[in-house]
Structure 1
Amino acid sequence: MITDDKDFEAKSIIARMQRIDKWPLPPSFLAIIALGYFFTFYDVTDIGFAMPSIAPQFHLTGSESLFLALSIGLIGYVIGSFIIGYLADRYGRYPMLILTMILMALGSFGDAASVNLDMLIVFRFITGLGLGADLNLIPAYIGEFAPAEKRGHLAQITFFLGILGQAVTPFVALAIVPPFYYGWRVLFLIGGLIAVIAVVLRAELPRSPRWLIGHDQIKKADDVVSKFENYLKSNGETLPELKTDDINKINVQTETTRLSFLYLWQKPYRLRMLVFGLWWGLWYIGNYAFLGDAATILSDSGISLASSILFLAIGAIGYPIGAISSWAISDKFERKYIIFVGSILWLIGMLIFGSKANSIALIVGSFIASYSLAFLIGIAYMYTSESYPTRARTSGFAMGDGLGHIGGAIGALFLPLWVAEIGFFGGFAFIGITTLIAGIILVVGGSIATRQQLETISA
């Protein structure tokens, strides 16, 4: 436990971090973090484009088989987010950031080498373990380094670089999946190579000072922050003088329980857990249903596979545009209102896409959906992460986003059934409405976070 003397020293280190109003590391470190995001969004998207080719080669029939292939990764996501998220709160962000990429590399190479459904299921599960945890860790890691006034801005920079993976994947898939029998294997192989590069680069990342302080590693935290200060001073930055009053106002929390999940069910976190659980669960119903099933449903409706992928690929141009739009306002407006606007845009996109009036409607609907996803999702990741204390930040994210992926599994399974039951328009309109409801819940129950210090938000 931290003694009184160490308590003041710990507060001083946090105060030194809070006076820094810039990203305290070389810009290349943001790119290193973003590469993990790039793989994550590449992998989220590639399975949907690979499945139309995998299904006939593996003789898959019926929604049950498709569910096993599409949703098993989401089950791995939930388990990985929980287990590795808990380990990240106990043993630090850095080692888990390395582990997640190793798992994703292993899973992707295994996906590419799969010879039957059982093998594909195993490696999609392994990929999901790493993917779920990585999406958990990245916003926590960035948030614990970034200044409060620019936390959303910096998170969106990495998110923008990462979401390019979701924009690029359809074009890669279009080039190699329809023309080549083994094109889907190459699609997964590319993802594995990206993950290997990310593992090597992440070895350069520093440990989180906030996490080190919370685990009574004051000297290590001081060393990391000193490196930040020296780097900034070497680049001509002048740091404000520390004031004792500012130091004493800081709330330093230490690790008090091994069961961080139980800690989060105490006040004031119980309501946050409920709100974020509902938000993510309802949002992911539509998100994973569209990403995982849209190409197959279009193909099954009589549109060629190549045309189906092409419509979605053109629409995917909305991803980087949406991320840039959100980046511009990420620290100017309260997070939950930005997310709500994105929820409305998603509904509009689903209604237009669902109309299936013509090819233009499919492209425009896909574009608006892609735009809205990139507009809100990076902000939602950061908003969820920053709403919990450092000692349980990744565990809290896991409880919301991780459990929310149960909704993703439901959406991936049931969208084809909903389309068969209530029609093409009805199915896509439904997954638009679930997102709107999610946005309303977040606006009503969410707390204030924009431009707030992490120690203030989590108090």
Structure 2
Amino acid sequence: MDPTAEDLLYRLDSMKQRPYGRAVIALVAISFFLVFWDVYNIGFILPVAATQLGVSISSPLYALPITTGLIGYVFGELGLGYYAQSIGRKNTLLITLAIAAIGSLLAAFSVNFVEISIFRFIIGTSIGGEIGLTSTYISEITPSSIRGTYVGIATAVGMIEIIPVGATAFFIVPTIVWGWRMMFAVGAIVAIPAIIMRFIYMPESPRWLLKVGKKDMAEREIKKMEQYLKKKYGKVERHEVKKISEKVEETNLGVKALFTNRKNASRMSILLAAWFSFYIGDYGLVSVVPTLFIEHGLTISTSYLYFFLSTLGDSVGAFTGMALSDKVERKYLSLGIMILSFIFFSAWGLTNISVLIIIFGFMVFFTQGLWLPVMYAYSNEVFLTEGRSTAMGLTDGMGHIGGAISPYLLIPIALSAGILGIDGYSLAFIFMGITAIIGGLIVGILGPKTKKLRLEEINDGEISGYVGKTTGNR
């Protein structure tokens, strides 16, 4: 007797162990490596590239590479997220790496800030696709009881790259004339072999296969997972999960359908607002803070050293988030993390003591890094499989507009006289902290609970009335 779609999803979600090899985790972690390499490198690149290419901090061109890169994120998450519903998670993740390689090579040979900005947009398109799809992909191929942990692992492993990016920037960018160009070229160096490895080792999402009517292929992927567990552990250990009784429909929700349902539209609004607010501070943190240090009177080398030591907290936070993600209700964990982030942001901006600059900076990055794996897991699990990558693209992708406008908010604040006895430099850090706590409050108060629930349970009943008229609807 042929298994039903519900049977196949039950077989996947009831597995106790990770049903795929470490190579899959590594190849997903490459996504986050590229993401965070791109996020961090621009903060190190800008001060030196601007000096070489004759651009001052007060010029609108100075922040343009940050903004165009983040606008690229928006287009990448929206466009590639939508097409991942049609061509599959795996195929789209191959395309994103190809775009990353092309954009990185072009950026490395830029001769002015306009070219850097254009090529940063291309890179950003690929990075946006990676952000939206990798956490979606891991969420869909991982059993429900360990879903948050493994999204966290992929995020945390990718975030280890802050060690090489910081070391490269500290030793090469200020001292070698082509150092900042090397920071761009690394994206291509990593992406090209990763394309081949992804093609060979990464399975397609069984959930996506079921949604597009490829049940035989979905069953084949789940059998491979079960075979992997039998080979590794001798048997497939299972625990009881709720059996989803309703029919798993073969449908692909377009953008219009995502907004038609009130529950889904509400969740999209909540997450869009949360990501938008968070990214104002987060991208200000990683792209503008080295410039703020330099404008505050620190040398380039000292600024890069302080920033590098502070960023080490990011990967520590990410691994902590990985450990906590399946133990604490994610919406409440998100709120607690952002309260701490506000406190440390404010303390960081108000101190001029070297050791405290490093300590508070470390703790800011710790809280920001802690929030990301929790929220990447959370953002994907509150949406339907047939609209997940599109919804993630709309919420996280559009949220990056907050990051795009961030330097145009923070730099004027930092250069201002300040208010209430607080100078502009300190006020810029406090402002970043405020945007962090707003993001946490939105999720903690308004978001649904998701801990250890199956994806279909979290979204139970959301698409009633759409079947048969949503496929291909945009």
TM-score (norm 2): 0.92
The one-letter code of the counterpart of 1:79 is F
Q: What is the rounded CA distance, in whole Å, between the counterparts of 1:365 and 1:242 in structure 2?
A: 43
Counterpart AA for 2:456: E
Say if 2:329 is the partner of 1:334: yes
Deviations 1:297-318 (A, max 9, x none): 1112211011001001111121
Could you tell me how far 1:254 is from its partner in structure 2? 2.5
Does 1:392 pair with 2:387? yes
Counterpart of 2:277, as a letter, is: L
1:178-189 aligned at under 5 Å gives the runs 178-189=174-185
Equivalent-residue separation in structure 2 for 1:30 and 1:256 (angstroms): 27
Structure 1 CA distance, aligned partners of 2:105 and 2:194?
A: 15
> CA 1:455–1:182 in 2, change beyond 3 Å: closer, same or farther?
same
Q: Does 1:416 align with 2:411?
A: yes
Give the CA deviation at 1:135: 0.6
Deviation for aligned residue 1:457 = 1.1
User: 2:281: which partner in 1?
Assistant: 286
SS of the aligned residue for 1:316 comes to helix
For residues 156-196 of structure 1, give each alpha carbon's deviation from its aligned partner in whole angstroms, at most 9, with x where no partner exists.
11111101123431221001001111110111112221122
Tell me the distance in 2 between the aligned counterparts of 1:22 and 1:63. Answer: 54
Hey, what's the Cα distance between the residues in 1 that align with 2:239 and 2:273?
41
1:251 CA drift (Å): 5.2
8 Å contact from structure 2 (residues 244, 456) kept in 1: no
Structure 1 window deviating more from structure 2 (348-357 vs 395-404): it is: 348-357
Mapped contact 1:81–1:132 kept (Cα < 8 A): yes
**Aligned counterpart, 1:239:** 236
In 2, distance between residues paired with 1:292 and 1:437?
20
The farther-off stretch of 195-204 and 98-107 is 195-204
Does the 8 Å CA contact 1:265/1:273 hold for their aligned counterparts? no
How far does residue 256 in structure 1 lie from its aligned partner after superposition?
Answer: 4.9
**RMSD of Structure 2 on Structure 1 (CA):** 1.9
Change (3 A) 1:154 1:256: closer
CA separation of 1:457 and 1:12: change in aligned 2, threshold 3 A: same
The Cα shift of 1:340 comes to 1.4
**Equivalent residue, structure 2, for 1:315:** 310
Indicate the residue corresponding to 1:73 in structure 2.
69
Correspondence 1:229 to 2:230? no
Aligned 8 A contact 1:66 1:413 in 2: no
Correspondence for 1:438? 439
Q: In structure 2, what residue type is equivalent to 1:222?
A: E
Partner of 1:405: 400
Deviation at 1:246, TM superposition (A): 6.3
**Contact 1:15/1:250 (8 A) holds in 2:** no
Of 301, 309, 334 in structure 2, the residue corresponding to residue 306 of structure 1 is: 301
Aligned to 1:28: 23
1:46 equivalent to 2:80? Answer no
Name the aligned partner's letter for residue 54 of structure 2. H
Amino acid at match of 1:212: L
Cα distance, 1:67 vs. partner?
A: 2.4
What pairs up with 1:142-157 in 2 under 5 angstroms?
142-157=138-153
Contact 2:410 2:428 in 1 (8 A): yes
Post-superposition CA distance 1:250-269 (Å, at most 9, x none): 55242154x23532441211
More helix by share: 1
CA distance in 2, matches of 1:197, 1:98: 11
- Say whether 1:277 aligns with 2:272: yes
> C-alpha distance in 2, partners of 1:31/1:241?
25
Structure 1 contact 285–431 (Cα < 8 Å) conserved = yes
Number of residue pairs matched by the alignment: 452
Q: Which 10-residue stretch deviates more, 58-67 or 266-275?
A: 58-67
The residue aligned with 1:345 is: 340
CA distance in 2, matches of 1:448, 1:39: 30
Give SS of 1:235's match.
helix
The range that moved more, 168-177 or 136-145, is 168-177
Judged with a 3 Å threshold, the aligned counterparts in structure 2 of structure 1 residues 330 and 241 are, in CA distance, closer, same or farther, namely closer
Correspondence for 2:208: 211
Q: Deviations over 1:364-419 (max 9, x none)?
A: 12101110111111111110011100111011111111111111011122211011
* Matched residue type, 1:130: S
- Secondary structure of the structure 1 residue equivalent to 2:4: helix
1:131 is aligned to 127
Retained in 1: the 8 A contact 2:279–2:400? yes
Q: Which runs of 5+ in 1 are unaligned?
A: none
Bigger mean CA offset, 247-256 vs 174-183: 247-256
On the 8 A contact 2:318/2:370 being kept in 1, the answer is: yes
Shift of 1:30: 0.8
- Aligned equivalents of 1:152 and 1:97: distance in 2? 21
Q: Distance in 1 between matches of 2:345 and 2:27?
A: 34
- Identity percentage of aligned residues: 30
- Cα-to-partner distance string for 1:416-441 (whole Å, 9 max, x where unaligned): 10112221111110110111111111
Could you tell which deviates more after superposition, 428-437 or 234-243? 234-243
1:196 counterpart residue number: 192
Gaps of 5+ in 2: 419-423, 461-474
Q: Which of 87, 91, 98 is 2:87 aligned to?
A: 91
**Residue 381 (str. 1) matches residue 381 (str. 2):** no
